[in-house]
Amino acid sequence: MTQAKSHVIYAPSKEAPCGVKSVFLAGTTNKVDSHDWREVLSTALSDVPVTIYNPYRADWDSSWREDIEFAPYREQVEWELKKQDKADIVVIYFHPATQAPVSLLEFGLCARVPGKAIVVCPEGYWKRGNVQIVCDIYGVEMVDSTDGLREAVVRRLPVSL
pLDDT for 161 equals 53
Residue 31 is predicted with a pLDDT of: 73
pLDDT number for residue 45: 96
Residue 1 has pLDDT above 60, yes or no: no
3-state SS record for 47-99: CCCEEEEECCCCCCCCCCCCCCCCHHHHHHHHHHHHHHHHCCEEEEECCCCCC
- Give me the pLDDT at residue 2, please: 58
Distances (CA, A) of 155 to 12, 59, 107: 28, 34, 20
Q: Which amino acid does the sequence have at 16?
A: A
**Cβ distance 20 to 47 under 8 Å?**
no
Of 57-61, 90-94, 98-102, least confident by mean pLDDT is: 57-61
What's the pTM? 0.94
pLDDT per residue as tens digits for the range 18-65: 878 999 999 987 777 778 999 999 999 999 999 999 999 989 888 999
pLDDT at 44: 96
pLDDT value for 12: 96
Q: Give domain limits for the chain.
A: 7-155
Residue 7: is its pLDDT beyond 80?
yes
Class of domain 7-155: alpha beta
Q: How many CB atoms lie within 10 A of CB 130?
A: 13
Whole-angstrom CA distances from 100 to 5, 144, 156 are: 31, 16, 25
User: In 10 A of CB 101, how many CB atoms?
Assistant: 9
The pLDDT of residue 28 is: 82
User: What tens digit of pLDDT does each residue of 117-151 get?
Assistant: 999 999 999 999 999 999 999 999 999 999 989 99
* Residue 96 burial (C-beta neighbours within 10 Å; 0-12, 13-18, 19+): middle
**Residue 104: per-residue pLDDT:** 97
Q: What is the pLDDT of residue 159?
A: 64
What per-residue string of b and e applies to 48-62 under the rule 16 or more CB within 10 Å gives b? bbbbbbbbebeeeee
